[in-house]
A and B are shown apart, each in its own frame.
Chain A
């Protein structure tokens, strides 16, 4: 009788990705993130000699939002979806999004913009496949998130600048998270108001982003609506999300809940600061980074121990040490965004410590992967 092939071997042959393409994608993700972080530190006033005088890094500073939101998060989200649909062509989206970062850093904006639009177009097609497989509110919302990415990249390609694209770029991760959390509410007795209120908030976000970037109507009113909708979304998560329940679970589920709940607090603050920003108050850094780092990166840190084994085929040993970079992220954000009000030097120090928190998280992930292997070896012995 035929023996079973080892699982790893069967899984490798079933996967549409070769080892080489997996490494290439990982490099594109790492490059986008590193460039975005280095550019962000320059923008925040970091005075490291190694950060200055490089044309590459000045490009990274100029393209910080594009690199972080469309380059890094766009690539990561597109990889997640390509792995889920198991279609080889779906990987064109992360390859194009990551490639867009490379050309952005080379100063070839027209090629970068074209690749960005191509990535989002493939992503829309992928989400249509997902929607056809599962017709549900959350899969429809995921499709909307990819359309928002497409609009942001199209505005950027049309020369409207990062400021016009910014709300749309933010909507890619924000609506992706909203869709995923909406899906999780099915595990509870979903309240009758949960779906209609979320749809109203999404409509407000889309309307606010349209009015902000179109420029023809009332960009200030649009920006205020966008900010109010972000805070309303935080309230929605606070009321309907399962994180309040999984906080009482253990291990990884509890850690993810902590990441989410801390992120929701920053999201509420980001919405208020966004309204202030469009009304001319100071606090642009608070609006953009409470949203980008406090909410979105906290969510990324929460899900990395689950998503990385799925997309990179690297198993991680979860342990309480994952709380260290999470605490570092939120503490450094408090220093930067609250302590930094009126104190530019604290803002810069906070931004440097934000980068250190991300580096600590990367080290934690690598250490956990090594720990998993070591534990497996000791178990086999």
Chain B
């Protein structure tokens, strides 16, 4: 796809886990879209990190606003996308955190280009 990040671009968030799952996890999370702006949560820089080990996948992520009621829907979709990827016995935990605070610098070049 023409919108895929270039091969030498840094991975958009810290990832710990089996390397065979790294790109599929990125693809799965990139399918979760903020409906207001039609940009993925990866492009918006909402994912702080993913760790997969010993039957457990942990995702740390944020939202741009603490007052937004849509957080649960986005967390649901993150879980839905990862469930389709990870084995059924793997527990999925999504942690919503406010520290460090989200800043616009976390957005991908593609997202910034779209919004500018």
Contact = CB atoms under 8 A, between A and B. Distances in A.
Among B35, B71, B98, B116, find the residue whose CB has the most chain A CB atoms closer than 10 A: B35
B38 interface: yes
Given A1-B55, A184-B36, A249-B38, A130 B80 contact: no
Contact of A7 (B68, B69, B83): B83
B104 interface: yes
B72 interface: yes
Contacts of B23: none
Interface residues of B, number: 34
Contacts of B90: 4
B90 to A, nearest CB: 8
A148 to B, nearest CB: 16
Interface of B: 35-38, 44, 55, 64-73, 76, 79-80, 83, 88-92, 98, 101, 104, 107, 111-112, 114-116
B72 A81 contact: no
Contacts of B116: 188-189
A343 interface: no
B85 to A, nearest CB: 13
Main DSSP-derived SS at the B contact region: loop
Contacts of A80: 69
Given A79-B69, A180-B65, 13 more contacts: A2-B89, A2-B91, A7-B80, A83-B72, A130-B66, A130-B67, A134-B66, A134-B98, A142-B67, A188-B104, A189-B116, A253-B37, A256-B35
Given A3-B88, A7-B83, A80-B69, A186 B76 contact: no
Among A3, A7, A138, A307, find the residue whose CB has the most chain B CB atoms closer than 10 A: A7
Interface string A310-341: 11000000000000000000000000000000
Contacts of A83: 69, 72
Contacts of A252: 35, 38
